[in-house]
Amino acid sequence: MQEIATRKVTISDIAALQEIGRKTFYETFAANNTAGNMEQYLEEGFSEHKLAAELNNEHSLFYFALLGGRIIGYLKVNLGMSQTELQDSDSLEIERIYVLQEFQGKKVGQVLYEKAIELALHYKVDYIWLGVWEENKKAIGFYTKNGFVPFDRHIFKLGDDEQTDIMMKKTLQADQSAH
């Protein structure tokens, strides 16, 4: 397989971001949620207006994963007050790592995760955190394998369904900053 590249998403990429965002979210969660709740979330969560606001926010960063020029996944991280929960200036939130189903298990998520680590080190944060749906065992396993530990829970609303996310974090070691 070719090397997976990453590229920062810009406002001119909004249509591509909307497409990959909706497709990967649907592939990941449609089987476990009602069609109505999925439709509502995909419409609101990936609206052009919402994505434009996020792309224009200097504390939210998006990166595409590319294979041979094709967008196969993406990463969204938040810093400071743009974080969805903690809003700690010493942390970075991984809000989304999503990969097209056909490319899962091919290290794409790992490449995006490593991009998040690179950003965390660049911004000199102490730790990275995220929320992952308690039913998404595959993602929980991925983050656990990468050194994340659960520290809390919060509610994520998908349409009219309240779901529990496990909040996980990873403290960055002081010696990593030397790399």
| Rounded (to 5) percent helix, strand, coil in the chain | 40, 35, 25
| CA–CA gap between residue 107 and residue 51 (Å, rounded) | 26
Say whether 143 is catalytic: yes
Q: What phi-psi label fits residue 129: left (phi over 0), alpha (psi between -120 and 50 degrees) or beta?
A: beta
Which one of 41, 74, 98, 143 is the catalytic residue? 143
Q: Taking the CB of residue 160, how many other CB atoms lie within 10 A of it?
A: 9
Return the active site residues.
Answer: 143
